[in-house]
Amino acid sequence: MSRFVLLACAAVVQGACGATLIASHFTGGIYTLSFTGTNSSGTLSITSQTSGCGSTPGWLEFYSDTRKLYCFDESWMGSGLNAEYSVANDGRLSLTGQIRTTGNSVHGGLYGGTDGRGFVATAEYSPSTITTFTMPLSSTSKVLQQEKFTMAVRGPNPRQDVPHPHEIHPDPTGQFLLVPDLGADLVRIFKIDAASGKLTACPAAKADPGDGPRHIKFWQSTSIPGLQKAYTLNELANSVSAWDVTYPNDSNSTSPASVSGCLTLTKTQTLSTYAPNTNPSTNPTSGTKAAELHIADNFLYASNRADQTFGPQQDSIATYAINGATGALVWLGADNSYSYYPRTFQVNRAGTLVAVGGQTSSNVAVVARDPATGRLGRLVASLQVGARGRAGQEDGLSAVGWVE
């Protein structure tokens, strides 16, 4: 949910601030939440609830410029619904578009057109496909393009039986679409035809065997012009990787893919999502799974599911410093997510609060953040939303993000 943003508070009274969040639950509900408080204490409450995104809404994307929310149905039953909502000033949702799909869409987002909003792409985990549609969404929407992925041999992890695309992520220029593939240990790269929405495959970037890349984010140095990095969250290896980014107009590049008009990624670094010598993934029964990453200024965050670093059902969020001159990552530490199975999380625009969605605990936790050090601190507010999930199962809270 990289496009959720917390805008300036409409009113500030004695240091108190009001904000809105939206959360989805794997039983079908989409919830609007109200947060009132400061950076040290506050309260959360549910203000409205709606449906329309099928039986298993798994991912949300909010676009502040159009105040549109897109929801993607992870239904495993052979049929699903992807939905568009208009978000009112009070956070209430109105269903404005809906398409029926084959389900199992674990992620989706908009791309192409004249404004980056002309088409929508989805990633289907088990069918090993990505699928595109022309906007706007309607009951008559037809598939524009579908890419089916295969691989010759299984990967080293038991979950790597077939390709498992896990995210749709446009690069910062809007010219390329990147698809981390957990099953094939690849970051697939596609060139976008903005006018037609057509995707043309470029050579993929290769992760290490068993990494299982799940999500990707881009970072731009503010001190070194032109320095850009990409970072992947590797679910199966419980790690994050840094990648050099090369565009086809880079005169210094000798990469055949770059010369032929494709973006290329070159891996430069991989670090664990746990402190040295404390990785719970070395225990095969631990069930730990890294989930999501976000970047705020020169800090990168990665959430860990089921590590219980801070006690029973209290998982961690790893924090790294990004070297502003090189983009290299340095481990800073792990902080409490105040949740169990933190599937999604997001830093607010001010950089002072983090909203964490605990999947199995089914709670939204608002956690204080120090913008100077990057570290997360005390629990500011927490609220259970919907029924609790079961550890390791596709139930409980699926996504959360800021919107106001």
- pLDDT, one tens digit per residue, over 136-172 is 999 899 999 999 999 999 999 999 999 999 999 999 9
Average pLDDT of 41-50? 97
d(CA 123, CA 246): 24
Q: What is the mean pLDDT of the chain?
A: 92
Nearest to 124 by CA among 147, 140, 145: 147
* Class of domain 12-402 (CATH, top level): mainly beta
**Residue 357 CB partners (closer than 8 Å, separation 6+):** 23, 339, 342, 343, 344, 345, 363, 364, 397, 398, 399, 400
Per-residue confidence (pLDDT) for residue 6, from 0 to 100: 35
d(CA 63, CA 376) in angstroms, rounded, equals 26
How many whole angstroms separate alpha carbon 91 and alpha carbon 249? 42
- pLDDT(257) > 80: no
| Distance between CA atoms of residues 398 and 6, nearest Å | 20
Three-class SS state of 281: helix
Tens digit of each residue's pLDDT (9 = 90 or more) over 94-130? 999 999 999 999 999 999 999 999 999 999 999 999 9
Give percent above pLDDT 70 in the chain: 91
Indicate whether 1 pLDDT > 60. Answer: no
pLDDT value, residue 15 = 37
pTM: 0.94
Sequence-ordered alpha helix ranges (H) in 275-343: none
Can you tell me whether residue 350 is helix, strand or coil?
coil
Q: How many residues does the chain have?
A: 404
Nearest to 187 by CA among 133, 111, 123: 123
Give domain limits for the chain. 12-402
Q: How far apart are CA 164 and CA 106, in angstroms?
A: 10
Cα–Cα nearest to 213, from 287, 282, 302: 302
Q: What is the mean pLDDT of residues 47-63?
A: 97
Are 189 and 176 within 8 A, CB to CB?
Answer: yes
Q: What's the pLDDT tens digit per position in 4-21?
A: 433 334 333 333 468 999
Q: What is the pLDDT of residue 101?
A: 94
User: For the residues 231-243, what does the mean pLDDT come to?
Assistant: 97
Give me the pLDDT at residue 404, please.
Answer: 65
Would you call 280 helix, strand, or coil by DSSP? helix
| Residues 343-398 pLDDT 10s | 999 999 999 999 999 999 999 999 999 999 999 999 999 999 999 999 889 899 99
Inter-residue contact 366 to 381 (CB < 8 Å): yes
Quick one: 223 exposed, middle or buried, by C-beta within 10 A (0-12, 13-18, 19+)? Answer: exposed
**β-strand partners of 100:** 81
What value does the mean pLDDT take over residues 264-268? 98
